[in-house]
Amino acid sequence: MSVGVIILVVALIGGLYMAWMIGANDVANAMGTSVGSGALTLLAAIALAAVLEFAGAVLLGSSVTETISKGIIEISLFEATGPWGEDGPVLLALGMLCALLGSAVWLHLATHLGLPVSTTHSIVGAVVGVGVVSFGFRGVAWGEMGRIVASWVVSPVMGGLLAYLSFLAIRQGILRSADPIAATKRFAPYLVAVTTAVMVLSFIYKALKNRWEAPPVLLAVGAAAGVGVVVGVLAGAFLRNSTTARFTNPYDYVERMFALLQIATACFVAFAHGANDVANAVGPLAAVVSLYRTGYAEVATTVGVPFWILVLGGGGIVLGLATLGYKVIATIGREITEITPTRGFCAEFGAATTVLVASSLGLPISTTHTLVGGVIGVGFAQGIGALNLSMVRNIVRSWIATVPVAAGVSALLFVLARAIFL
């Protein structure tokens, strides 16, 4: 069996492994707070997320993707001959393969420990390892790395602040009102309208952009606002006609209504996650497949993604969700702070809004970091004693470790692979 075929076969296994780990770790972004609040059972969350993640990956996963460079290394450096006289395209294929495996190994360890980490930061760290081994420190765009490191602070702080303020508003306007049920019927439709508009804009700019060009800003905002108003009006009609007699405690009614909103939000996030994050697994694989088809003779910064690769990635995400997803779901839903539907909604709303704003400004941001920041924010609204500070410290340490550990594992694998195959 030729070296080229071996690289392809291992890349297929590595792509599936990476997708498995993305499903195991990242799915908590969508479903963690819903399970923690009791809005969904673990089994229901896994079933819903499995269908939506797979659908998002297959239907709206990008048909053309950048290689795993992520702007961290210059792909053109691999066009001809490697730094030690190797065949450049083959060296690139090996580098992508090792970056996939190095990233997946770190995600596997983090998932085993129940720690939510950024899959994007993991693959970025793995690429850094390949770049340093191939071309030394000059092979890494440290300016772009600085932007990524800055997002470690910006993401959770922005998500936490928005979640904190959202919960304070709900607590003041609804939970502490003289009649929480009447307050819910009065204010919830506006929350539904705003949340829907944010989700529609996120869908346009984070999911639909994988297949089509984004519409003009005014058109997108107008469409989002229109959909938000319609859904808000429907929510108002539903709330006005909802029965309250069976709720002896008015707060049970409030939490029930927010649980429905939280489930709807979680389903959207799961679909969008499948559409976006499948690229972290299939991008490198698609690049190796492209190199194999050209006989490892041509290097491209963007490559086509065959439909079967999207199916492989979506299937891997579902596999990870079904087998190991419960670990990180438990951390986000139960181990940071107590989550209720109102608090879970605020965490998800804060995270979604932060990601939308940051993406529109071109800022690199981690959905995982943002959501964890949101959960911390709603916990902090109850007082510092409501937070499990030991777990928070462990999560922060795992964030700091992600890039260097993924880089180190990837670099080690790359050195070994180069010695074996080249």
Render pLDDT for 23-36 as a digit per residue (tens, 0 to 9).
899 877 778 899 99
Q: In whole numbers, what is the pLDDT of the chain averaged over residues?
A: 85
Residue 340 has a pLDDT of 93
Check pLDDT > 80 for residue 65.
no
Residue 298 banded pLDDT, cuts 50, 70, 90: low
Pairing of strands 64-66, 302-304: antiparallel
Query: Could you tell me where the DSSP H helices lie in 136-249?
Result: 142-170, 180-202, 217-241
**What's this model's pTM, rounded to 2 decimal places?**
0.87
Residue 76 has a pLDDT of 67
DSSP state of 339: -
Check pLDDT > 80 for residue 237.
yes
* CA 397 – CA 157 distance, rounded (Å): 16
268-288 confidence digits (pLDDT tens): 888 877 877 777 777 778 878
| Tokens read off for 122 | 């993991």
Three-state secondary-structure class, residue 273 = helix
Residue 245 banded pLDDT, cuts 50, 70, 90: confident
Residue 212 has a pLDDT of 72
Name the one residue in this structure whose structure tokens are 């490559």: 303
DSSP state of 87: B
267: which residues sit within 8 A by CB, 6+ positions away? 30, 48, 52
Check pLDDT > 60 for residue 86.
no
168-188 confidence digits (pLDDT tens): 999 999 999 999 999 999 999
- Angle 107-316-285 from CA coordinates, rounded to 5°: 80
Q: What are phi and psi of 87, to 5 degrees?
A: -70, 120
Average pLDDT over residues 36-52: 89
The rounded radius of gyration (Å) of the Cα atoms in the chain is 22
User: Helix 88-112 to helix 3-26 angle, to the nearest 10 degrees?
Assistant: 30
| Tokens read off for 421 | 């195959």
DSSP state of 81: B
Report the share of the chain in percent with pLDDT over 70.
91
Going from the C-alpha of 106 to that of each of 101, 112, 364, 401, 405, the distances in angstroms are 9, 10, 21, 9, 7
188: which residues sit within 8 A by CB, 6+ positions away? 174, 235, 236, 239, 257, 258, 261
Least confident of 71-85, 195-209, 235-249: 71-85
Check pLDDT > 50 for residue 84.
no
Least confident of 7-21, 126-140, 383-397: 126-140
Residue 85 banded pLDDT, cuts 50, 70, 90: very low
303-339 confidence digits (pLDDT tens): 677 888 888 888 898 899 889 989 999 999 999 999 9
Amino acid of residue 163 = A
- Measured from the Cβ of residue 194, the count of other Cβ atoms closer than 10 Å reads 16
How many Cα atoms are found within 13 Å in the side-chain-facing hemisphere of 137? 2
Check pLDDT > 70 for residue 82.
no
Least confident of 65-69, 77-81, 254-258, 394-398: 65-69
383: which residues sit within 8 A by CB, 6+ positions away? none
Closest CA to 177 of 254, 69, 272, 230: 254
Residue 3 banded pLDDT, cuts 50, 70, 90: confident
